[in-house]
Amino acid sequence: MSGTRLNKYIASSGLCSRRKADELIESGVVMVNGKIITELGYSVAPKDKVFVNKQLIHPVKHEYYRFYKPAGYITTSDDEKGRKTIYDLLPEKLHNLKPVGRLDRESTGLLILTNDGDLINELTHPSAKVPKLYRVTINGKINNNDIDTMYKGIEIEDGKKAYAEVSVLEIDNSHTTMEILLYQGMNRQIRKMFEHLGFDVVSLKRIQHATLNLDGLKRGEFKPIKPQQIKELKNFLNRIANKK
């Protein structure tokens, strides 16, 4: 049967990545024309009706935006505690888009928003090791031993080490400002690393994720990512994948 592979069709709906779609297919929650499909290589034709968990899905056009997250907002679509979310700042037309990774409530900076499940997976999967660059200011003066410790790794979760590459930009009597490069995506990673070293984070801003940065954006502002930028991003991700 010719057509579109079922996992690609599901991913094209914005529901999830192809990898996650394979898991859904194997779990028996995917139906095509009323029949449960568990075959990973199954293909669907344009007129086929595909259901996931009894919900009809349709392919959608992929959208990509950059968003400059301000402080005071959490990176989610809903919050049980009633806190402000990034979607309070975004128009209704963007509420179907998901953030690529997270920034905690007091952190600021770049968020990529998209309904492209495959791209989200490529940017966030732990094995991908996609670089993310942050501008961070702490209370106190960092020294070379601290920098070396962060490079070699700090256990911030049981059995899990966090690593960071630090470039000092400025040190004054009471603060240090740095650029910090991460290849991981652990929860509150930078804050926990500095807490382990005895420092408080004053400000934390993500300034770049892979090939995308904050250029031309003001706080709270969003802009569509240009097709050429998406092409450059995907080429960059392919080069990373081919190095493994």
Residue 104 designated active-site: yes
Place of tokens 């952190």: 107
Per the CB < 8 A criterion, the answer to whether 14 and 120 are in contact is no
State the catalytic residue, choosing from 22, 78, 88, 104: 104
Phi-psi bin for 167: left (phi > 0), alpha (psi -120 to 50), beta? beta
Catalytic residue positions?
104
